[in-house]
Amino acid sequence: MLIAGGKDTSGALTSVELYDPKKRTFSATGSAVTARTAHTATLLPNGKVLVAGGENQSGKLMSAELYDPTSGTFSTTGSMTVARYDHTATLLSDGEVLIAGGYSSSEAVESAELYNPNTGTFTATGSMTSPRAVHAATRLPGGNVLITGGYDADPWEQLPRVL
């Protein structure tokens, strides 16, 4: 199991670990190219893992990278069409990955895009009917993706601030 990025008191992380559930042990592996939190990680049919989007101290991210378990290293791949975090990434039956929704600012977006692992590129695709983030996306047996729940605005941005 790959555990990549996240956040601690100093901000987003580049650290990555592997968890072996049989041995119940963690071991370090190569560092991510970009520190990120609130991103997605999707196992691709070729065994690599697509790590996409998120945010860090610099803001929302369009960047993506691939983890190669054979070498234990990360390398950059194409950039998303929209900077986003708290989105979903769903592996489709043809091997592409559907990236949907998320926050691009304090508002959720309805945009979606496809990642093609053969070309390493992202391409905009049809939008959802409603903007949403922190939602669920499930690939159905017929190949469609069901997207449910979520928020249309960042609830943390809506909280009153104490100065």
Look at residue 156 in the predicted model and tell me its pLDDT. 62
Q: Which distant-in-sequence residues (6+ apart) come within 8 Å of 69 by Cβ?
A: 2, 47, 48, 49
CB 91 within 8 A of CB 135: no
Question: Architecture of 2-156 per CATH?
Answer: 6 Propeller (2.120)
3-class SS of residue 156 = helix
CB 87 within 8 A of CB 112: no
Per-residue confidence band for 157, with pLDDT thresholds at 50, 70 and 90: low
> Cα-flanking dihedrals φ and ψ of residue 52, to 5°?
-130, 140
- pLDDT, mean of residues 33-55: 98
**In angstroms, how far apart are the furthest CA atoms of the chain?**
52
Per-domain boundaries in the chain: 2-156
99-111 as b/e: b if 16+ CB within 10 A: bbbbbbeeebbeb
Q: Residue 96 corresponds to which tokens in the numbers above?
A: 């592409």
Residue type at 32 in one-letter notation: A
Per-residue confidence band for 159, with pLDDT thresholds at 50, 70 and 90: very low
- pLDDT, tens digit, 9 for 90 and up, residues 128-149: 999 999 999 999 999 999 999 9
DSSP-assigned letters across all residues of 87-139: -EEEE-TTS-EEEE--BSSSBB---EEEEETTTTEEEEEPPPSS--BS-EEEE
